Structure formats: structure tokens, C-alpha cells
Amino acid sequence: MREKQIPLERVRKIAEKHKYVLIVLLAGLLIILWPGSRETSDDALPATEHTESPLSFSLLEKEQRIAHALSQIEGAGDVIVVLSLRTSLEQEVAIDEDSAGRRETVTISTGSGTQREVTLRYHYPEFRGALVVSQGADDASVRLQITQAVAALTGLGTDRITVTRMQNQY
């Protein structure tokens, strides 16, 4: 069988007639496929924590992860990290207020007859300060590297980070 061919003139007429729709579709496609980083808000989850529930913040786990990373610094030796929090993890949910002033939490159906609150954003904990106890803290270079690393990982200013030497264990 022979395939029916669409004359070029007919394609041109259709494109001319719908040119604005085609321009909008092409612009949308370009925006979607444009390479590069996507803008994210401050409340977005870090890439390393996407597998966890947003409400599963563990201060102990955070301290242990930082301590493990710091112990890899040359000369640091064993490291213990203690973090203090300024704020705790909070969840901001959507509230609907009717004309009578009654407020109600907005929920959505998740299937199987269950419902959950609509979360607008999560406010993650802010750190107040950090104490790092390290075997190699006698060395000023090691202290500086530890301080800079903790500042980078927690967002704390260096004035909020104390690095001290671990007592000798015999």
C-alpha cells in the first residue's frame, strides 16, 4: 500500500493558521527541557535526604554523620560532635477559614478512605551552636579545618563553633 502524503502547501497553511499556538507550545517545551539547575526554595529538601520523610530529622544522626566526616580530616583522629538547636522541626499546614471565622485544617484524600493534612512547608531546625571534641585539636590547622567544615555543614558562624582537644584515654 502507498502511504498518503500531505502536500507541503497544506502543512504551511495549517502552520500559518495556528502559528501562535505552535509558538506557545514550543516555548513551553523549551522551558521544560532546558538544561541546568532548577530553582528551589529554602524549604526544599536537600538531595541527600529525599528518601527520608520530611519529618524524620534526627539530631543524633546528624551529629554522627558530621562526626564521621570530621574524623576523615587528616590529623583529626576520633571526633565527637554535639549540636544545640535554636528551633525544632515544624510543619506548616494549610488552614481554611470560612465567612463565619471558623478555621479548619485542609485535608486531602490519599486513597483507601484515609486523609492527610495539606502541608504548605516544613521549617527545619536551626542550629544554635556546635561543640567538637577531637583528638587532633592541639593542631591549629586541624582546628581551623574542623571549624570551617562544621560551619559549612550547619550554617553556623565560626563564632558559634567550639573545637577542643579530647582527653587522652589510656
List pLDDT tens digits, range 58-96: 888 889 999 999 999 999 999 999 988 877 767 777 777
- Is the CATH number of domain 55-89+124-170 3.30.300.30? yes
How far apart, in whole angstroms, are the C-alpha atoms of residue 5 and residue 116?
54
Average pLDDT over residues 87-115: 77
Q: For residue 11, is pLDDT > 90? A: no
How far apart, in whole angstroms, are the C-alpha atoms of residue 38 and residue 18?
31
Q: Per residue in 124-148, pLDDT tens?
A: 778 889 999 999 889 999 999 999 9
User: Mean pLDDT for the chain?
Assistant: 78
Phi-psi region of 36 (alpha: psi -120 to 50; beta: other; left: phi over 0): left
Give the model's pLDDT for residue 4. Answer: 63
**Residue scoring higher pLDDT (3 or 120):** 120
Q: At what angle do helices 59-70 and 140-154 cross, to 10 degrees?
A: 140
How far apart, in whole angstroms, are the C-alpha atoms of residue 55 and residue 36?
29
